[in-house]
Amino acid sequence: MKGFIRILEAIISSLILIAVLPFFLVQPSESEWGNIALQTNALDTLAVLQKTTRLETYVKNNDVAALNSELIRLLPKAADFSVEVSGIPNPVILVGCVCTSTEIDDLENLLWPLNFQYKERQISIRVSNMTMNTVDPRTRVLFIFGYLNLTPYKSILTQFLESGGTIFMFTDLTSSQTQDGILNTTFGLKWNAVISSGGSASFFVPGGTTKISHKVSRYYENISGRADTGTFSGLGDSSINRIEIDNKTVIFSSQVSLVKANDYVSKNGKGRTIWFANYGYTLNNDAAQQLKNLTKATIMWASGENYKMDPFTKRPAQRFLEATHIGQIDGVEPFEIKLVVWRPFS
């Protein structure tokens, strides 16, 4: 009898196993196989371009036409795509200045030359005038001369930051100004009346290549020809600007920050801010010139280090796939390239 029961139990167990087995062995649908093939094709495409060094060349020269021509040839005819590069300064940096016409001229002179090379990449800075209520969505850096209470424009600035923009405020600060609800939150500035500055200023690089100060110092060293271990003089008013130092500090003097950045400031993880203490930018001496180079290097970081290499604006379909590749320009300038692919009519 026991033997019969065991046989019956074995039969029942087998039936249960047969019933549930299909749930664990579900074959991908035809569309899923198509997605797998498309993503594999995208990965192979980046690998081919990287192996022949053409990918790095296209990024280095910002050759949008040649890159897109290659991708059209290598990807399936029924697929569309978009290319995004991150980790290096944007080739074109659109700066919107909330300032007077005189200050526009001052900013252009401060950043001169507006067209320059960084590690053999051509970089162009384009400055235009705008108001807080007319921020061009294409703008990457919103530059503000002097202190401005940004609280009334919070909604506009939130949209700007969520699109990947950077707010750059160029001014000395008092205690009350740092408590305006924007500088002490979005900018991450913290006033400390006890601390004070003194002596020359220098880069704050506590270690590690992920620090913002490290990125800015690399840009500064390349465009100025000066070592990033040097010092700056004439930056900020030592009687004010008592902003505490933390890992977002770029330039410091004694106990205080004189240039401080913040990133990932919006809810969607985009957006950057920079506070830069004032200096005599109309002067033509060597100390002022090095501060101008520092400002330009900070603008390069403020570009967002993220841009598209598409011939026109593209909107991916709701269902899309991604392939990424880490490359290096001339073996020293790392960047990430993301190839987004989709089927327009699927």
Query: In CATH, what number is assigned to the domain containing residue 147?
Result: 3.40.50.880
Edge-to-edge order in the sheet of strand 166-170: 115-118, 121-129, 92-98, 141-145, 166-170, 272-276, 256-263, 249-253, 201-203, 231-232
Pairing of strands 80-86, 306-308: antiparallel
The Cα 203–Cα 258 span in angstroms is 10
Number of domains in the chain: 1
Give the pair of three-digit tokens for residue 94. 């659109």
Task: Count the neighbouring beta carbons within 10 Å of the beta carbon of residue 81.
Answer: 22
Q: What is the torsional sign of CA 14, 15, 17, 18?
A: positive
Indicate whether 167 belongs to any domain: yes
Of 343, 342, 337, residue with least CA distance to 50:
337
What are the pLDDT tens digits along the chain (346 aa)? Answer: 555 455 545 555 554 555 544 444 444 544 565 677 777 888 888 888 888 889 999 999 999 999 999 999 998 888 899 999 999 999 999 999 999 989 999 999 999 999 999 988 999 999 999 999 988 989 999 999 999 999 999 999 999 999 999 999 999 999 999 999 999 999 999 998 887 767 789 999 866 666 899 999 999 999 998 877 778 988 888 778 899 999 999 999 988 999 999 999 998 889 999 999 999 998 889 999 999 999 999 999 999 999 999 999 988 877 888 889 998 887 778 999 999 998 887 6
Note whether 91 and 121 are within 8 A (CB): yes
Give the pair of three-digit tokens for residue 156. 């506009």
Residue 34: what pLDDT? 66
Of 271, 244, 273, residue with least CA distance to 258:
244
Q: How far apart are the first and last CA of the chain?
A: 60
With H, G, I as helix, E, B as strand and everything else as coil, classify residue 88.
coil
Indicate whether 177 belongs to any domain: yes
Query: Can you give the C-alpha Rg of the chain in angstroms?
Result: 26
Indicate whether 8 belongs to any domain: no
Note whether 321 and 42 are within 8 A (CB): yes
Which residues face 326 on adjacent strands?
336
* Amino acid identity for residue 277 in this structure: A
Indicate whether 151 belongs to any domain: yes
Residue 208: what pLDDT? 66
The Cα 103–Cα 109 span in angstroms is 10
Residue 209: what pLDDT? 67
Residue 9: what pLDDT? 54
CA dist list (Å): 99 to 53, 154, 296: 44, 19, 18
Which residues face 337 on adjacent strands?
85, 325
Of 121, 124, 60, 77, residue with least CA distance to 337:
60
Range of the domain at 225: 92-306
Instruction: Note the Cα 251 to chain centre separation in Å.
Output: 20
The Cα 279–Cα 256 span in angstroms is 16
* Amino acid identity for residue 218 in this structure: R
Give the pair of three-digit tokens for residue 115. 């067209």
